Amino acid sequence: MSGVTVNVPDLAGTEAFGRQLGALLFPGAVIALIGQLGAGKTHLTRALAEGLNVRNPMAVTSPTFVLIHEYTARLPIYHFDAYRLGSDREFLDLGADEYFHGDGVSVVEWADRVPGAMPHERLEIRIDVLNETARRFTLRAFGERYQRLLTAVNAEPTS
């Protein structure tokens, strides 16, 4: 496992980071997003989708109530929000595993609410709120494909 951190001063920085990362994503990639309400998980997901050349970026909105949104892009995107889920089992019953093992890119907001349902191999992104507009992204790669992905991300290594 290895990691990097990325600090951004504002929303434009999040958008640039997300687009860069999105362009690097591969079929079957799973992104686990962790961070408080308002941290920027949904905005980051939109930027990832832009990096994947999504047709309509403004359609990328929070799936809090429907739990999943699907978007058409260079790769299909499956956007989940686990906020309202009570358990790993509930998430798995939605068919999460089939999405994770498909050819699309899965992005899970509130992945820390369903830790046992997440695949071992994944990219975890924790978002810390530094102030009203600044954010710190801490990226941790689980599995070789994600470690390779991280070497391509323009960022500072963490210890």
Q: Which residues of this chain interact with ligand ADP, rule CB under 6 A?
A: 8, 10-11, 13-14, 35, 37-43, 62, 109, 133, 135
The binder of 115, among ligand ADP, Mg ion, none, by C-beta within 5 to 8 A per type, is none
Q: How far is the CB of 93 from ligand ADP (least distance, A)?
A: 23
For ligand ADP, the nearest residue by Cβ is: 40
- Binding to Mg ion, residues 2-61 (CB under 5 A): 41-42
Q: Which long-range contacts (CB under 8 A, 24 or more apart) does 112-119 make?
A: 112/32, 112/34, 113/82, 113/83, 113/85, 114/82, 114/85, 114/87, 114/88, 114/90, 115/88, 116/88, 117/88, 117/89, 117/91, 117/92, 118/30, 118/32, 119/30
Q: How far is the CB of 34 from Mg ion (least distance, A)?
A: 12
The single residue among 5, 62, 72, 133 that binds Mg ion, judged by CB under 5 A, is 62
How far is it, in rounded angstroms, from Cα 6 to Cα 44? 13
The binder of 111, among ligand ADP, Mg ion, none, by C-beta within 5 to 8 A per type, is none
CB-based contact 109:83 (threshold 8 Å): yes
Q: How far is the CB of 134 from ligand ADP (least distance, A)?
A: 6
What does the binding site for Mg ion look like in residue numbers (CB under 5 A)? 41-42, 62, 109
